[in-house]
Structure 1
Amino acid sequence: MSRVLIIPDVHLKPWIFDMAEKVNKESYDDIVVLGDLVDDWGMGSNLDIYKATLDRAAKFGKDHETSLWCYGNHDVSYLWDAMESGYSVQARITAVEGINKLERVLEGRLKFVHKIDDVLFSHAGLTETFVLHSCGYHMNEIEDILAKVNRMGKQELWRDSSPIWARPQHDFYRMFRDDIFYQVVGHTPVEEPLDACGVLTLDLFSTYSDGSPYGNQKLYILDTETKEHKEAILL
């Protein structure tokens, strides 16, 4: 059993890491960051906020040396030069340099999917469709499947059903081995934590285009044994 503090999509809000530092360290055992550190409404030419966010992420990753991190679609879009909504041509070099620095700091802790007990953590969710198409029916061990997924690149992952793009909240996707694994994701903005069909969605810091909050802007801790989540209390 582990109590996991979850940091969802940051999207150029470095103060979320400051907020996480205020959570009582006795209340959790592990930290998982769900990805999408970069890009936000109207910020494409603000290179300072890209650098500040990625520098703050690197410091947080260094200070919390067992924290686990997930790539988000916005993060890898710069590494793979794959344009999408929110991609900033002006910020590309700054984003790539900052994410590469983060990769060096984390030393292998930045992946597409992490597993703690029988809970899977990823940016968008590991779907049955994606695993069957990408890994085949012959691969059965979860460690082997995750190892293969975590080695994948743009060709395999730049698709709707992948763990950086899936939206099980809106589309009909069966989640991978949903009789065994519970999943925690960000990616899809929600106003409050959404626990449905074995998936807990926590993208709670997204905003409207005018900058006003869409979600409740709270952090949560998940108990990997009971699958219950509770609001993180700040000191």
Structure 2
Amino acid sequence: MRTLVVGDLHLLGSIILPLVEEKAKQEKVERIVLLGDYFDQWGQTANVNLYKEELNFLKVWVQAQRSKKIEVICLLGNHDVPYLTGNLSYYSMQDAAMIQEIKATLLLLGVQIAAKVDEFLISHAGFLADEKPKEWYFTAVDSSHLAELNQLEKMVGKARGGSNEIGSVFWADYHFELAPFYNRNYPKQIVGHTPVTKITRNKAAGYLFGVDTFSLTSDYYPIGNGALLLLEDGQVKGIATKFSTILLNKNLANTLFCLED
């Protein structure tokens, strides 16, 4: 089954997902995996209108793909979990009504922690050392999982400013944790979370692919080239998009984000 893996969205879904849809059609894709971090962006945590527009776009888009018989797997990122558990971070939206809308939509979309595609283990940030995914990680989360989600979200490694030696599946840094603390039980992994300039493979630590190519600098310029990862029968290929050009044009025209409330 041909699968497209899509990096972190961070309130850019209305730009990124149409590009994904275009490439999915061209490549005859049957499955799409979204790596999480659908929300939160530099300087936009009070922009309720932006969150509402992006939330609605995400929900309608996912449902539309599923109605076309394309499997869409929505994974959880560290920016998403606080909206489920209520343990909000400094980078989270603080509007109470919006928080409830986000939580309801994440549950409606059937978000989960991990996915298995061909021989690859796919998650937001990756499984380190001897960490083994639990069976429920591959199914839609519900209220019975909130305590464990909260615990995983709090496990931040030193590479990301936390007190743990290494981070959890929501926090593992690709360069400083995932590769050095290589999980020999899962040598083939695909992750987002850590911004990369292009789809990155760490050959020294097995087949670890980083695909967070949509992240922005604090002044809203693209860090990565906006490439997607195509996976079929254990083989991977980068798929180019026009993301960087679109972002730069919107940035120069000052039309990237709505005005804050």
Using the alignment, how far apart are the partners of 1:209 and 1:220 within structure 2? 25
| Between structures 1 and 2, the one with greater helix share | 2
Contact 1:113 1:122 in 2 (8 A): yes
User: Aligned match of 2:175 in 154, 165, 169?
Assistant: 169
3-state SS of paired residue (1:170): helix
Distance verdict in 2 for CA 1:111–1:169, change over 3 Å: same
The corresponding residue for 1:97 is 101
- Contact 2:35–2:124 (CA under 8 A) maintained in structure 1: yes
Superposed CA deviations along residues 169-215 of structure 1, whole A, max 9, x for unmatched, are 21232226135xx1111100011111112211111111111111111
Change (3 A) 1:64 1:201: same
Change (3 A) 1:176 1:149: farther
Alignment partners' CA distance in 1, 2:53 and 2:212: 21
Q: Give, in whole Å, the separation in 1 of the partners of 2:52 and 2:93.
A: 13
Match of 1:112 in 2: 113
How many positions carry a matched residue from both structures?
Answer: 214
Q: SS of 2:80's equivalent?
A: helix
Q: Secondary structure at the match of 1:67?
A: strand
Q: Unaligned 5+ residue runs, structure 2?
A: 140-144, 157-166, 243-261
Equivalent residue in structure 2 for 1:69, among 74, 80, 86: 74
Q: Is the 8 A contact 1:50 1:95 kept in 2?
A: no
Match of 2:91 among 61, 67, 86: 86
Question: Within 5 A, what are the aligned runs for 1:120-159?
Answer: 120-131=121-132, 145-147=134-136, 151=145, 152-159=148-155
- Root mean square deviation, CA, Å: 2.3
* Matched AA of 1:29: E
Q: Which amino acid aligns with 2:154?
A: W
Deviation digits for residues 81-128 of structure 1 (CA, Å, limit 9, x no counterpart): 3343522324x5314313412422x3x4x2001112211111101223
With structure 2 as the length reference, what TM-score do the two structures score?
A: 0.74
Residue 129 of structure 1 deviates from its aligned partner by 3.8
The equivalent residue for 1:183 is 189
8 Å CA contact 1:125, 1:175 repeated in 2: no
Q: Does the CA contact (< 8 Å) of 2:227 and 2:238 recur in 1?
A: no
**Greater RCO structure (CA 8 Å; 6+ sep):** 1
* 2:238 paired residue number: 230
Identity %: 28
Structure 1: which 5+ residue stretches go unaligned? 132-141
Output the TM-score relative to the length of structure 1: 0.81
Q: Would you say the 8 A contact 2:81–2:149 is kept in 1?
A: no
The 1:202–1:97 alpha-carbon spacing in structure 2 relative to 1, beyond 3 Å, is same
> Is the Cα–Cα contact under 8 Å of residues 119 and 224 in structure 1 kept in the other structure?
no
Which range moves more in the overlay, 157-166 or 51-60? 157-166
Distance (whole Å) between structure 2 residues aligned to residue 212 and residue 148 of structure 1: 34
Residues 199 and 227 of structure 2 are in contact (CA less than 8 Å); yes or no, is this contact kept in structure 1? no
Alpha-carbon displacement from aligned partner over 1:29-63 (angstroms, at most 9, x marks no partner): 21000000000011011111111111111112211
Confirm or deny: 8 A CA contact 1:4 1:224 kept in the other structure.
no
